[in-house]
Amino acid sequence: MKPLIVKLGGSVITDKHRRFAVKRSALKRLASELATVKGPLVVVHGGGSFGHPLASKYKIDEGYKNERQLMGLSLTHRAMERLNAHVIDALQKAGLPAIAIPPSACAVVSDGRIQSMELAPIKKLLELGLAPILYGDAVPDLSRGMCILSGDQLIVYLARELGAGRVVLGVDVDGVYTGDPKVDRNAKLVPEITLANWPKLVESISSAGGKDVTGGMANKVRELLALAERRVEAEIVNATKPGTLRRAILGERGLGTRVVAR
């Protein structure tokens, strides 16, 4: 059976306005929704108020420039370990046999892109019926010294290398918009993004939702289009709405923005 890859956005599971603040009730609910998956499951989560502030403070995404960043890399990675522990706890309490996989320990990254990953343990965990849980991480970079490996890049790489049938991204809006729906009333939901219509949409989407150290919504779509080229379907849905993630992972379509080849 092909694995399902699910991404939990950092803004869904943490309060981005308060450093190191977990949305405990939301995480508990999402864990129960994920526990309904029948078959192999891989979960990747973002950094939210744990990883992003530190990564930004120490400019980890700009590569190694000074010794101060060494502590920054250490602190950012530790913050992500702490958030990951909250995610693992919630999933285990929901009855899902989750196990943490730190990307910094298994990914070889150069110029901000994954060159290779040691996936044999992950494949075996899936075979046994466990759920590997990865996350956006501060990692060593062969050319830059250090960088941020985004959860969005991870899900695409894992989906490709593990032969995933589908990818679902849970975010804090209803999908991809032609502007920032939180401030622009005229922003319209884009129900489907394809290789053909993306060039016409990219400029408006690049301004939607703001930016973070991993590139924002436009970067999510760019990563997912690489999957679309391989005929792997992805959908971006609003995971803050109870039941929406569950419906998506159980196979319902049209709940947000689909990223497909056609």
Residues 6+ apart with CB under 8 A from 166: 2, 4, 5, 232, 233, 234, 235
Give per-residue pLDDT as tens, 224-251: 999 999 999 999 999 999 999 999 999 9
CA atoms lying within 13 Å on the CB side of residue 181: 13
Residues 6+ apart with CB under 8 A from 214: 46, 47, 52, 61, 136, 148, 150, 151, 152
- What are the structure tokens assigned to 139, written together? 């990692």
Residue ranges of alpha helices (H) inside 99-250 are 120-128, 151-162, 198-206, 216-228, 244-249
pLDDT above 90 coverage of the chain, percent: 86
Backbone region of residue 92 per phi and psi (left: phi > 0; alpha: psi in -120 to 50; beta: other values): alpha
Average pLDDT, integer, range 48-58: 97
What pLDDT, on the 0 to 100 scale, is given for residue 164?
97
What pLDDT, on the 0 to 100 scale, is given for residue 114?
98
Whether residue 13 is predicted with pLDDT greater than 80 in this model: the reply is yes
Say which amino acid occupies 129: G
Q: What is the pLDDT confidence band of residue 207, given thresholds at 50, 70 and 90?
A: low
Estimate the crossing angle of helix 68-93 against helix 48-57, to 10 degrees. Answer: 170
Angle at 85 between CA 37 and CA 173, to 5 degrees: 60
CB 10, CB 53: distance < 8 Å: no
List the single range of 4-18, 104-118, 194-208 with lowest mean pLDDT.
194-208
What pLDDT, on the 0 to 100 scale, is given for residue 106?
97
CA nearest 44: which of 133, 157, 105? Answer: 133
- DSSP helix/strand/coil, 253: coil
What's the rounded Cα separation, in Å, for the pair 193 and 23? 30
CA 74 to chain centre: 21
- Cβ atoms within 10 Å of 171's Cβ, excluding its own: 24
Give per-residue pLDDT as tens, 84-98: 999 999 999 999 999
What pLDDT, on the 0 to 100 scale, is given for residue 216?
80
- DSSP helix/strand/coil, 98: strand
What's the rounded Cα separation, in Å, for the pair 148 and 136? 7
Strands 233-238 and 166-171: parallel
* CATH superfamily assigned to domain 4-169+234-256: Acetylglutamate kinase-like (3.40.1160.10)
Q: With residue 48 as reference, give the H or E element that holds it.
A: helix 48-57
Whether residue 209 is predicted with pLDDT greater than 70 in this model: the reply is no
